[in-house]
Structure 1
Amino acid sequence: MGRQGRIAHTMSVDFNPNAAETIVDPYPGLARLRADEPMHWNPVSRAWYLTRYDDVRAGFRDKRLSADRIRPFVEAQRDGPDGEEIGFLGEHISHWAVFNDPPRHTHLRGLMNKAFTTRRVEVLRAGVAEIVDGLIADWADGDEIDFHHRFAYPLPATVIALLLGVPQEDVDHLKRWSDALAQFVLTSKTNPEKYRVAAAALKEMNAYFGDFLEQRRRDPGELVTDGLISATDEGDRLTADELTASCILLLFAGHETTTQLLANGLHALIRHPDQMADFRENRHDAKFVKNAVEELLRFDGPSLTSPRIVAKDFELHGQVAKAGQRLWLWNAAANRDPAVFEDPERLNLRRPNADRHVTFGFGVHFCIGAPLAKLEAEVAFPILLERFSRFELVKPAQDWSDSYVSRGMTSLPVRVYR
């Protein structure tokens, strides 16, 4: 991050992340911030916003920014009415690599990388295709279906269960627990019940994976969970708590992100029929398909922001961020920076640098589940475009989640035509 002369701490761009129009379409407001106030103090969320590509990308590697944002929140809420539940949630989630800085992040992520290998992901390709076929088998010509609930939601949940080796009959339980946990991890909105519900779900998940991992120890194989159990690095090994937490993180992250990629992606394609037609015509071209998925991730991907805590004072664009303040790296704004992406507001599946997006982060915090999410989309979209000649939105406006962190819909009603 560069430095410039200090100016008065005044903000001229009004951007409310809670406003209905922002939740539906945050991009016009983010464009104003990116152009006029690239280092913006937001009074609503009481956090600094970085929106330019170079600043966001640098922020992922800046040691003055900490990913350890759960611990300060837990400490601040410990004596509050929900302190017990928040303390329990924080204690467990503190084992997630995504909420840690080096060297602890290095320990957790390094061992997870040994288990979550490209080979283990790639062998799922045929299995993903079978799951896709099963999900759409009973969709008749002219049917109205909720694509989110009938496809985008169950596909990644089933795939991640397959990857971890969890019995398919338990998938509904896993989805329910993941949804409850999302209320704590993905939203900053105050909900009197969300901490209790999330804590209850996490307790059930802990018990479930404790038993499941013990079974895997007795009968090991080639699953990701077996890799996590056996992974070592110069004598280092995941503790029992870290092992359970890592399984839950893989389940949670692998499910939520891919659901949003699939739903947001289809939504974008329906709204850009020329790109839908190009995708359909080139659905058997693996190189085209890979680039198309990268562009869908860039254009309206599953990640809005990557929150951080300022660990050390720094100055950028004439503004000074103080240690202890919150700062949000706006992935979604960086992905539409015209300094990097030509005509960034246009969906272009042939964009030559689509893979430069930062939807999955950058550097040491690059999302470990990115290859799996991409694989599922690379398999799913060509099959959907093969089986159905047309998709129509049932209603013009969709119901978007109000999360600050992720970008996704709560439903996506579409009509399908064979």
Structure 2
Amino acid sequence: MQDHQSGHQRLTLSDVQRPEYLANPYPLYHRLREHDPIYWDEEMHAWVLTRYTDVVAVLRDPRFSSAWGPVETAWMPEELRPQLEPALRAVSRQMLFLDPPDHSRLRGLVARAFTPRMVESLRPRVQRLVDELLDAVQDQGEMEFVADFAYPLPAIVIAEMLGVPPEDRSQFIVWTQDFGRLLDGGHLSFEELLTTLSGIADFLAYFRRQIAQRRTAPRDDLLQALILAEEQGDRLNEEELLGNCVLLLAAGHGTTTHLLGNGLYALLQHPEQLQLLRENPSLAPTAVMELLRYDSPVQLTSRRLTADVEWAGRRFKAGEEVLTVLGAANHDPEQFPDPDRLDLRRTDNRHVAFGHGPHFCLGAPLARLEAEVAFTTILRRLPQLCLATEQIERLPSLVFRGIKALPVTFASVLPATGATAAAED
């Protein structure tokens, strides 16, 4: 086990939550990679991988498991167990925490809703939503981008796909935060863990009510398709149905919110790149890929060893945790020339912002579509767009990278043009 020193200070991934690295974690990632790209982090009690080639290889290696293993509930207070135990078990049956063949079975049920063709069919609706959100702030000359745009856009889209009322989205943010705390990997006190699981239990209860309504009044949407799979028996059980509804709703808007916030902030910090995209909207697909690489919404993901593994001269032991740092891999100079430079024309851009291998993000095409429509429309409709403050507060998270609030100002909003009218036909 390596003891990494810089001066007298031990290097550890947990430093990413220090103020200087919360603002910009990439210098820390570079230091970790330069000292040792594969090291045991005493504070994290895990192996930390920061090199692109290692991250990609681990994420497609079946010896590195995503599964939780047995769900332990003995620690729960007896009086809360009937409420909290089902929540924990349902989360453990999400695609995110399963290995093949269960993962393959569940992913296959949901994947048909996220094919490129199905996602592209949503473009007119996404365009209308983008314009409606901008219409709502057009006379103000300012907005808080996260609350007014980056959160509601993906929340409405995924809510409509699942067939749940978009007016419930104010509650979604609370439940998504509860789910995010469970995924974050940070230390939760006993009381915080109970509160978090209680929120997830409420999330599950919400979907139970939605599902009960569908059994008597079926509809044509993703939730109904999942209910049908559950009714067919061995394709999907109730825990899997509920757990993956939570996953789709939470993951379907939380990380896209971060993509939109991080992306606009990066553009505003690089006005020459912002102007490039404004003048060349056809560059949007390439630009969004670069924004994803440059400041990824998900910074790391973890795996657990199912057996002893020899890896690049190291011996990983069964049961040990391995943290693959996606944000570090996306700034590895061996893979990305001049990785800390934002270059919207970067074409050889095989980033891992959406993960890699069997667990590659199912909603990646939808997230990219929403970002492409959002950024091109914002830059077309909001002249003189700029930050309203230099003090941007980041979410204190190991896993997720996002912005709490992003106040912006603009001179005026131009009316929707023929592009929107054409999209509505």
Q: Same fold (TM over 0.5)?
A: yes
Matched, 1:315 2:310: yes
Deviation by residue 1:153-183 (Cα, 9 ceiling, x = unmatched): 1111111111111122222222322222222
Separation in structure 1 between the aligned mates of residue 60 and residue 254 of structure 2, nearest angstrom:
24
Aligned partner of 1:349: which letter? Answer: L
Deviation by residue 1:24-46 (Cα, 9 ceiling, x = unmatched): 21100101222331102212211
1:79 to 71, 75, 81: 75
- TM-superposed CA distance for 1:311, in Å, is 1.9
Query: SS at 2:5's partner residue?
Result: coil
- 2:166: which partner in 1? 168
Separation in structure 1 between the aligned mates of residue 43 and residue 86 of structure 2, nearest angstrom:
28
Distance 1:266 1:358, change over 3 A: same
Could you tell me the percent identity over the aligned residues? 41
Q: Is the 8 A contact 2:214 2:224 kept in 1?
A: yes
Separation in structure 1 between the aligned mates of residue 104 and residue 370 of structure 2, nearest angstrom:
27
Deviation by residue 1:256-275 (Cα, 9 ceiling, x = unmatched): 11000000000000011111
- 2:203: which partner in 1? 205
Separation in structure 2 between the aligned mates of residue 142 and residue 273 of structure 1, nearest angstrom:
23
Normalising by structure 2, report the TM-score. 0.88
- TM-superposed CA distance for 1:317, in Å, is 3.7
1:414 to 401, 408, 415: 408
Moved more, 13-22 or 30-39: 13-22
Separation in structure 2 between the aligned mates of residue 42 and residue 200 of structure 1, nearest angstrom:
31
Aligned partner of 1:366: which letter? Answer: F
Separation in structure 2 between the aligned mates of residue 347 and residue 57 of structure 1, nearest angstrom:
22
- TM-superposed CA distance for 1:81, in Å, is 6.6
Distance 1:187 1:201, change over 3 A: same
- 1:96: which partner in 2? 94
- TM-superposed CA distance for 1:90, in Å, is 2.4
Structural mapping, 1:4-403, within 5 Å: 9-12=2-5, 14-15=11-12, 16-69=15-68, 71=69, 75=72, 78-79=74-75, 84=81, 87-140=85-138, 143-231=141-229, 236-283=234-281, 285=282, 288-354=283-349, 356-403=350-397
What stretches of structure 1 of length at least 5 have no aligned partner? 1-7
Moved more, 192-201 or 58-67: 192-201
Query: SS at 1:406's partner residue?
Result: coil
Deviation by residue 1:177-207 (Cα, 9 ceiling, x = unmatched): 2222222223513245432332222222222
Separation in structure 1 between the aligned mates of residue 5 and residue 85 of structure 2, nearest angstrom:
38
- TM-superposed CA distance for 1:320, in Å, is 2.3
Q: Is the 8 A contact 1:39 1:316 kept in 2?
A: no
Query: SS at 1:113's partner residue?
Result: helix
Q: Is the 8 A contact 1:11 1:41 kept in 2?
A: no
- TM-superposed CA distance for 1:139, in Å, is 2.4
- TM-superposed CA distance for 1:123, in Å, is 2.2
Q: Is the 8 A contact 2:300 2:326 kept in 1?
A: yes
Aligned partner of 1:79: which letter? Answer: W
Query: SS at 1:367's partner residue?
Result: coil
Separation in structure 2 between the aligned mates of residue 364 and residue 326 of structure 1, nearest angstrom:
18
Separation in structure 1 between the aligned mates of residue 84 and residue 51 of structure 2, nearest angstrom:
33
- TM-superposed CA distance for 1:79, in Å, is 2.5
Aligned partner of 1:299: which letter? Answer: Y
Distance 1:118 1:197, change over 3 A: farther
Separation in structure 2 between the aligned mates of residue 231 and residue 81 of structure 1, nearest angstrom:
34
Separation in structure 1 between the aligned mates of residue 332 and residue 266 of structure 2, nearest angstrom:
19
Q: Is the 8 A contact 1:38 1:317 kept in 2?
A: no
- TM-superposed CA distance for 1:21, in Å, is 1.6
Separation in structure 1 between the aligned mates of residue 210 and residue 115 of structure 2, nearest angstrom:
21
Aligned partner of 2:322: which letter? Answer: L
Separation in structure 2 between the aligned mates of residue 80 and residue 175 of structure 1, nearest angstrom:
25
What stretches of structure 2 of length at least 5 have no aligned partner? 413-425
Q: Is the 8 A contact 1:298 1:335 kept in 2?
A: yes
Moved more, 403-412 or 106-115: 106-115
**RMSD of aligned C-alpha atoms?**
2.4
Distance 1:252 1:273, change over 3 A: same
Deviation by residue 1:53-89 (Cα, 9 ceiling, x = unmatched): 11000111112211124x46x53x7426799476444
- 1:4: which partner in 2? none
- 2:417: which partner in 1? none
Q: Is the 8 A contact 2:301 2:325 kept in 1?
A: yes
Normalising by structure 1, report the TM-score. 0.89
